Each structure stands twice: as structure tokens, then as C-alpha cells.
């Protein structure tokens, strides 16, 4: 299965050499770009040199407040214009989270923030799953490589996959696909992916009243504040609560959470909040 190129944007002044931990396990489909200033801590070139077959580039940026935020954020926007890229920002700076949230919502791209490069010594396909690639997305990508590997499917692959993952019903799925590829090509997608989309409702579900949403959010915040006070739960609190409140199915919650936090943390959240999500399809 063809792997999406992954770009690791390193906020070096923030994470130092520790942020590059694991880079030697990357492959030729990965890219490291180190953003540093003249005031950055001494860069250990010996450590950086041990980066396997990954492409590495270093960019010096002006020293100054939020210089890294501005430059890395703008580079993320450049990469976001090409949906075949996956992006990981290596930084402890939570200010990046808002721009990450923006691009996820705007283009449904795969982008996240980590404190260091985390790579498992497993196959690319399994690594993608453990890093947040859902079983559903893995199945879709496999079918694209095996069955939908010609024009116009390959040219629009990432856009189509994003539509398949984010459509909440068959009606919105069809509408979005019609805007992306010729309608004559859509039946082939439905045929090959029938097992993926068969559980989608035919029409949009009714909007949840605002009062109910507020009540739902208050319930999530109460339980969340009681059991998830530290570490990644605290760091990702608002993003996690937003996912919990706005998702319409258990599968959506699981998929979205897996994109921002490790799977073992997702399991703990789903277990603790089970009474609040058990009515979801």
C-alpha cells in the first residue's frame, strides 16, 4: 500500500534535540524540517545525522517572540494545499493547536502535534494505524490501491477519502462526491466501497437543539474534569471535549480521538464516558 509522505516540522528552540528522538526510524517517504534561530540551543549535528533515509532540511528563522509559530504555521498552510501530505508539528507549544484544528476542519488533512518524533518499529501500514489511522481509513486506502487506482480516482484520492471519512449520511456523501469527480465515476466508488458506506443513514439526521448541546457539553465537562486532570488529557482537553460534544456516532468519536491522542488514552476516555455516549449509534 502506498504511503502518504509525512512532514515533521520541528520547533527546535522549543523541543531541542529531544524532539528528534526516533528520527532514525523514519523512511524515505518522511521529511524532517528543522526551524531554528541563532539563539537556539547548540544543535547536536551528530545526533541529527543519524536520521536514516529520511529527507532533512534546516531553515533558520528570525529570533523573536512567536517567530516559530508564524513560520511553522505558514509552512503548514503551504503543505495543507496538497492533500497527499501528512504533517506532524514537533513542539510543546499549545499555540499550534488552534491552527491545527483550523486545517483539520477546513481540508480534513492529517495533522497533529507531538513533543517528539514517535515511530514504532512495525510496518508502515501498522504504524499508520497505531498513530491514529482508523481501521476504516486503512480499508478505504487499501481498496483505492487495489481497485480504484486509475484516473480520476488517484488524482482526487485524498479529497475522496476525506469525504468518505467525514460524510455523516449518504446524501451528503453523494453531494460532496459530485462536486469532486464526474458523476459517471461515482457508481464505481459505491460498488467497491459498499461495505464501508452501507451503515450510513440515507438522509441527514435532525440537528440537535442548542439547549441539548449545552447540556451534553456540561455533562462531558463534569465527568472529564473528575477523571482526566493531568498529562495529555489536560493538554488536549478542549479539543477532546469538542469531539465528544459534536460527534454523531461512536465511530466518529473513536476516529477523531485516535488522530490526536494515542489509542490507549482513547480507550480510557471511552470506558469512563460510556454512560454518556451509549445512546449514540
* Structural contact between residues 18 and 44, judged by C-beta atoms closer than 8 angstroms: no
pLDDT at 2 (0 to 100): 43
Determine contact, residues 63/69, Cβ cutoff 8 Å: no
State the pLDDT at residue 212.
67
The contacts of residue 223 (CB under 8 Å, 6+ apart) are 272, 273, 276
pLDDT in tens, 101-114: 888 887 777 888 98
pLDDT exceeds 90 at position 49: no
* This prediction's pTM: 0.43
10 Å CB burial of residue 205 (0-12, 13-18, 19+) is: exposed
Over residues 114-139, the pLDDT tens digits come to 888 876 443 444 444 444 456 788 88
Nearest C-alpha neighbor of 13 from the set 88, 92, 76: 92
Query: Is pLDDT of 25 > 80?
Result: no
Residue 82 CA to its chain's centroid (Å) = 15
pLDDT (mean) for 88-95? 90
CB atoms within 10 A of CB 281: 10
Whether residue 37 has pLDDT greater than 80: yes
Please state the rounded mean pLDDT for residues 247-264. 86
pLDDT in tens, 1-21: 345 678 999 998 888 888 877
pLDDT value at residue 151: 85
User: What pLDDT is stored for residue 204 in this prediction?
Assistant: 66
pLDDT at 73: 92
Amino acid at each position: 500500500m502506498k504511503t502518504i509522505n509525512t512532514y515533521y516540522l520541528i520547533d527546535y528552540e522549543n523541543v531541542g534535540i529531544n524532539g528528534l528522538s526516533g528520527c532514525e526510524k523514519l523512511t524515505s517517504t518522511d521529511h524532517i524540517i528543522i526551524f531554528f534561530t541563532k539563539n537556539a540551543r547548540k544543535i547536536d549535528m551528530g545526533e541529527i545525522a543519524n536520521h536514516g533515509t529520511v529527507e532533512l532540511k534546516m531553515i533558520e528563522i528570525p529570533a523573536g517572540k512567536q517567530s516559530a509559530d508564524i513560520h511553522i504555521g505558514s509552512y503548514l498552510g503551504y503543505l495543507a494545499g496538497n492533500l497527499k501530505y501528512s504533517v506532524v508539528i514537533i513542539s510543546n507549544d499549545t499555540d499550534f493547536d488552534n491552527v491545527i484544528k483550523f486545517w483539520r476542519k477546513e481540508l480534513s488533512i492529517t495533522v497533529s502535534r507531538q513533543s517528539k518524533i514517535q515511530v514504532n518499529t512495525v510496518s508502515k501500514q501498522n504504524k499508520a494505524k497505531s498513530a491514529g489511522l482508523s481501521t476504516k481509513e486503512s480499508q478505504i486506502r487499501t481498496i483505492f490501491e487495489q481497485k480504484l487506482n486509475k484516473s480520476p480516482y488517484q488524482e482526487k484520492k485524498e479529497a475522496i477519502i476525506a469525504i468518505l471519512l467525514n460524510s455523516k449520511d449518504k446524501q451528503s456523501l453523494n453531494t460532496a462526491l459530485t462536486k469532486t469527480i464526474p458523476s459517471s465515476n461515482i457508481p464505481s466508488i459505491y460498488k467497491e466501497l459498499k461495505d464501508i458506506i452501507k451503515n450510513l443513514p440515507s438522509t441527514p439526521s435532525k440537528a440537535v437543539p442548542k439547549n441539548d448541546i449545552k447540556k451534553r457539553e456540561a455533562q462531558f465537562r463534569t465527568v472529564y474534569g473528575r477523571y482526566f486532570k493531568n498529562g495529555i488529557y489536560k493538554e488536549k482537553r478542549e479539543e477532546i471535549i469538542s469531539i465528544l460534544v459534536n460527534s454523531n456516532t461512536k465511530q466518529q468519536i473513536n476516529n477523531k480521538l485516535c488522530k490526536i491522542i494515542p489509542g490507549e488514552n482513547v480507550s480510557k476516555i471511552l470506558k469512563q464516558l460510556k454512560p454518556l455516549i451509549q445512546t449514540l449509534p
